[in-house]
Amino acid sequence: MGASVRLTVDEGVATIRLDRPPMNALDTAMQDELRAAAGEVSEREDIAAVVLYGGEKVFAAGADVKEMATMSFADMELRSRQLSTAFDAVARIPKPVVAAVTGYALGGGCELALTADRRIAASTAVLGQPEIKLGIIPGAGGTQRLARLIGPAKAKDLIFTGRMVDAREALAMGLVDEVVDVDPHEPGEAVYQAARRWAAQFVDGPRCALRAAKNAIDRGLDVDLATGLEIERQAFAALFATQDREIGMKAFVTKSQPRFTGR
């Protein structure tokens, strides 16, 4: 995709790889490349699921503070919109997305992990929203996605204090969904493979139904229950126009394995 974000596809699973050593600091160029990568994986029919990965040693240690330190209010008023749209593009990928978290996922790195549907972390991973220590707040979804994920009280504790949490505490509070015990010197491969295994289960799955489920859940979180139930009802009914629904129900009746087409 560019100098700092690489996109690879293997057997239906895409990997969006952050590659800006040493800490994958999310500068403006990297944000733009993330948006482009999200757009491509959303459109490509050969991609069923996505892994977000920062590499063996670190997921992303946050935004590029040196770059931000030179920005005025006018600069950031414009750039913050671009930052939000980049992360929103990842969050709106209409396919299952899993973050494979090694090392630090701090600030913008933690916010990027929050855009995924599932987070798998190395036992040595460290997560947090330390922006308050810079005199600012999270600006790429941290105050919103984190509160929705772990509840407002826990989110306020992390954001108000800026403290970092290890993988076990992150698991206990629901910030991550799975912790992989790793060799501290080689944490990346085991976490990445765990994420790929989770993503791979959707390669031959009913893609229309997966897309509908993700959309209904995500949209439903932002509305009242009655509206959410109507979103679900419409999506449920619409799936009766798909080949995959016919295939899945026929396979159930005939006690055979479905071979979904994604149509």
* Tokens at 16, concatenated: 């969006």
Domain 207-254 in CATH: superfamily? Lyase 2-enoyl-coa Hydratase, Chain  A, domain 2 (1.10.12.10)
104-159 confidence digits (pLDDT tens): 999 999 999 999 999 999 999 999 999 999 999 999 999 999 999 999 999 999 99
Q: Which of 208, 212, 206 is nearest to 231 (CA)?
A: 212
Instruction: Kindly list the domain boundaries of the chain, sorted by start residue.
Output: 5-200, 207-254
Tell the CATH superfamily of the 5-200 domain: 2-enoyl-CoA Hydratase; Chain A, domain 1 (3.90.226.10)
- Separation of alpha carbons 126 and 170, rounded Å: 8
Active site residues: 111, 131
Q: In what order do the strands lie in the sheet with 104-106?
A: 104-106, 126-128, 164-166
Rounded Cα gap, residues 104 and 121, in angstroms: 10
Asked if residue 46 lies in contact with residue 33, where contact means CB atoms within 8 angstroms, the answer is no
User: By C-alpha distance, which of 163, 193, 162, 158 is closest to 178?
Assistant: 193
Helix, strand, coil content of the chain in percent (nearest 5) = 50, 15, 35
Question: 1 pLDDT band (50/70/90 cuts)?
Answer: low
SS3 62: coil
- CA distance linking residue 136 with residue 130, whole number of Å: 9
Q: What is the pLDDT of residue 83?
A: 85
The pTM score is: 0.93
Share of the chain above pLDDT 70, in %: 99
pLDDT digits (tens, 9 = 90+) for 23-74: 999 998 999 999 999 999 999 999 999 999 999 999 998 877 888 888 888 8
